[in-house]
Structure 1
C-alpha cells in the first residue's frame, strides 16, 4: 500500500513538469502555430519553417493562397514569357550601346564640357549595371519563377536592380537641372565649378544607391513556396514579420526620393527650359523637340512603375488586395527599356548641343552661354 501511494505522488509531481516541458517545446518550434503574413506580391496565408536539424540547407517556407493571383502569375504567360522577353530585348540593345557610350565618352574626358561627360558616364555605368543584373532574373522567369542560385545571389540581384533604377532616375534629374541652369540662369551657370559639382553630384547619387541597396541585402529575399514546390526570389515576402516589417516604410521613402523627387525636377526643368527658349528670338525648335522627346520617354518609362508601386502598397495594407503587383512587375520592364534608350538619347542631345546652339538669358544679355 505504501508503494502504491508513493507511485501516485510521483505521478502527480511529474505532471506539471511534463506540461511545462511540452509547452516550452511547442513555443520553441516554429512549425507549431503557422502565422498569417502579407507578402509583397501576394497575400500569404500561412508560413512555417522546417526544423533546422531536418533541413539545414532548405530555404524557409511560406504558404500562399492558391486561389489568389500567385498561381496565375507564377504559371501565366506574363511572368514566364512577356517579362523575360522584355528583359532579353533590353539587354541585347542596352548592354552594347551603354558599353559603347562608356568607351566613346572616355575620349572626351579632356573636353570643355567635362561636367556633361561625367554625368553621362555615370548614367551609362548605372544603366549597364542594371541591365547586367537582369541575366539571372531572365533565367528565374524562364524557369517558371523558380530561383536556383541561392539566397546571397537573390539579395545581390534585388539590391542591384532597385538601386540602379533609382540611380538612373536621379542622374537624369541632375542632367535636367544642369541644362535648366545653363538656359534659365546662364550667369550663375558660368560662375559655377561645373566639373567639381558634377563629380560631387555623382558621389551623392551613388550614396543614395547604397541607401536603396543595403536594406535589401540585409533581409532574406528567397522563400520556398510549399504549394507551388518552388523557391521564389523577392516576389513573396513575409512583410508582417519583424525582420521585414521595416521594408514597407523604407520602400515608400525610396518612392519619394528615388522617383517622385527626380520626376518633379525633370518636369520643372523641362517646362522652364522650353518656356525660356520660346521667349527667345532665335529658333530653338530642334533642341526643344529633342528635349521634349527625352522628357516624354522618361515619363513613359518611370511614371507607370512609380504610380503602381505606391498604389500596390496602399491596396495591400488597406484591403489586403495584392493584384496590382502583377501590373507593377510589368511596368518595371519599362524602366529597363529606359536604360537601353539612354545612350541614344544622350547622342541626340549631344548633337543638338554641338550644332553651336547657344542659349540667351532671360534679359537677352549680349553674352551667350553654351549648353554643355
Structure 2
C-alpha cells in the first residue's frame, strides 16, 4: 500500500518547493533583470510551464488520497491531465532550445550576436507553445479517449470510483491511445532525448576546450539538462514504452505487467521532480546575473534582567 502514497507525497513536495523556485525565478526575470537574452526567453517559458503544471498538482494529490476517485468533474480531469502530460514534452522542447542557445553562444559567438538582435527566440518559443497547444486541444476535443484525456468520470471495479486517466479499455488503446502515444513518444520524447543525450556530451567535450567564462557557464547548463533528462524524463519514457508494449499484448507476462504498473507510478513521481530541479537550471543559465535578495531587519531589542541588548542585522547579497 505504500506505493499509493508515493504520488501524493511527491506531488505535494514538488508543489511546495517548485512553486517557490519557479515563482521566485519569474519575479527575478521580470523585475530584476533588464537585459533579455534568447536564453532568458526559453527559461521564462519553461518557468511558466512548470508553474502551470504545479498549480494542477493539488487536484492530482486529492485524487490519489481519495482512493483514485475523481470528484472534480470531467472538464477538470481533462484540463489537469492535459497539463500534466503536456508539461513533459514542453519541458524537453525548451531544454533543447536552451542547450542549442548555449552551444551557439560558445561555439559561434559572432552568429549568436546576430541572433540576439532578432526575434528568433520569440518565434521559436511561440512555435513550441503553438504546436503543443494545438496538439493538446485537438486530442482533447476530437478523440474520445486519447492519452491526455482518458475516460474521466467512469465507473470501475464495481466500487463506484470515477477514474481519471486510468483503466482504459483494450479498444480505446487500439483506436485512440496507441497512435497518439506512439507519435508523442517518438517525436515528443525519443528524438529530443537522443539529441540531448548523444549530441550534447559531444558538445560539452568541445566546449570544455574553451577556457572562458561563457564556456564554463554553457557546460554547467548542459550538465544540468543532462542530469534532469536522465533522472526525470528518461525513466518515464522507457517505462511508458514498456507499458505500451504490454497494452498491445507484446508483453503478456502477468508478473511483468504488475511490475510495469508499479514502476510507472515511480517514474511519474520522478517527472514531477523536474519542476523542482529546473530553478537550478535557471541559475546556471544566467550565472553572470546576481540573483540576490536584500533583507533589512529593524533594530531588535532584547531586555533582560542584567542589561539591555540591541541586535542589528543587515544581510545583503545572499545567493540562493
Q: Same fold (TM over 0.5)?
A: yes
Shift of 1:314: 1.2
Contact 2:37 2:116 in 1 (8 A): no
The partner residue of 2:85 within 132, 142, 162 is: 162
- TM-score, with normalisation over the residues of structure 2? 0.78
Deviation at 1:234, TM superposition (A): 0.8
2-side partners of 1:156 and 1:281: how far apart? 47
Query: SS where residue 148 of structure 1 aligns?
Result: coil
Asked whether the 8 Å contact 1:176–1:269 carries over to 2, the reply is no
Does residue 77 (structure 1) correspond to residue 8 (structure 2)? The answer is: no
SS of the aligned residue for 2:54 comes to helix
* Equivalence map 1:58-73=2 (5 Å): none
Aligned to 2:317: none
Change (3 A) 1:105 1:211: same
1:97–1:277 CA distance, 2 compared to 1 (3 A): same
TM-score, reference length from structure 1: 0.68
Match of 2:231 in 1: 300
**Match in the other structure for 2:206:** 276
Name the CA distance, whole Å, in 2 between partners of 1:177 and 1:84: 35
RMSD over aligned CA atoms reads 2.4
1:329 aligns with 2:265: yes
* Alignment counterpart, residue 227 of structure 1, candidates 140, 158, 166: 158
The one-character-per-residue Cα deviations of 1:58-116 (angstroms, maximum 9, x if unpaired) are xxxxxxxxxxxxxxxxxx3212x1111000000000012211111110135641x4322
For structure 1, which segment, 281-290 or 264-273, has the greater mean C-alpha deviation from structure 2 after superposition?
281-290
Larger radius of gyration: 1
Q: Could you give the per-residue CA deviations for residues 192-232 of structure 1, whole angstroms, max 9, x where no partner exists?
A: 25651111111111123224422145435222104333121
> In the TM superposition, what whole-angstrom CA distance separates every residue of 1:8-64 from its partner, at most 9, and x where no partner exists?
xxxxxxxxxxxxxxxxxxxxxxxxxxxxxxxxxxxxxxxxxxxxxxxxxxxxxxxxx
User: Given that residues 95 and 128 in structure 1 are in contact (C-alpha distance below 8 angstroms), is that contact kept between their aligned partners in structure 2?
Assistant: yes
Q: Secondary structure in 2 aligned to 1:224?
A: coil
| Secondary structure of 1:232's aligned partner | coil
Partners of 1:107 and 1:326 in 2: how far apart? 43
Instruction: Please show how residues 245-284 of structure 1 align to structure 2 within 5 Å.
Output: 245-281=175-211
The range that moved more, 266-275 or 161-170, is 266-275
Q: Which runs of 5+ in 1 are unaligned?
A: 1-75, 356-372
Task: Check 1:163–1:239 CA distance in 2 against 1; reply closer, same or farther (3 A cut).
Answer: farther
Q: Any gaps of 5 or more consecutive residues in structure 2?
A: 146-150, 291-320
Q: How does 1:147-158 map to 2 (within 5 A)?
A: 147-158=70-81
Q: Is the 8 A contact 1:176 1:265 kept in 2?
A: no
* Inter-partner Cα distance in structure 2 for 1:135 and 1:162: 15
Equivalences for residues 1-372 of structure 1 within 5 A: 76-79=1-4, 81-107=5-31, 110-111=34-35, 113-193=36-116, 195-214=118-137, 215-217=139-141, 218-219=143-144, 221-222=151-152, 223-241=154-172, 245-281=175-211, 288-289=219-220, 291-317=222-248, 318-320=250-252, 322-323=257-258, 324-351=260-287, 353-354=288-289
Summarize deviations over 1:159-187 as a string: whole Å, max 9, x none.
Answer: 11111221111111111111111122323
Aligned residues: 276
The alpha carbon displacement at 1:241 in A equals 4.2
Instruction: Indicate how the Cα distance of structure 1 residues 108 and 205 shifts in structure 2: closer, same or farther if over 3 A, else same.
Output: farther
Residue 294 of structure 2 corresponds to which residue in structure 1? none
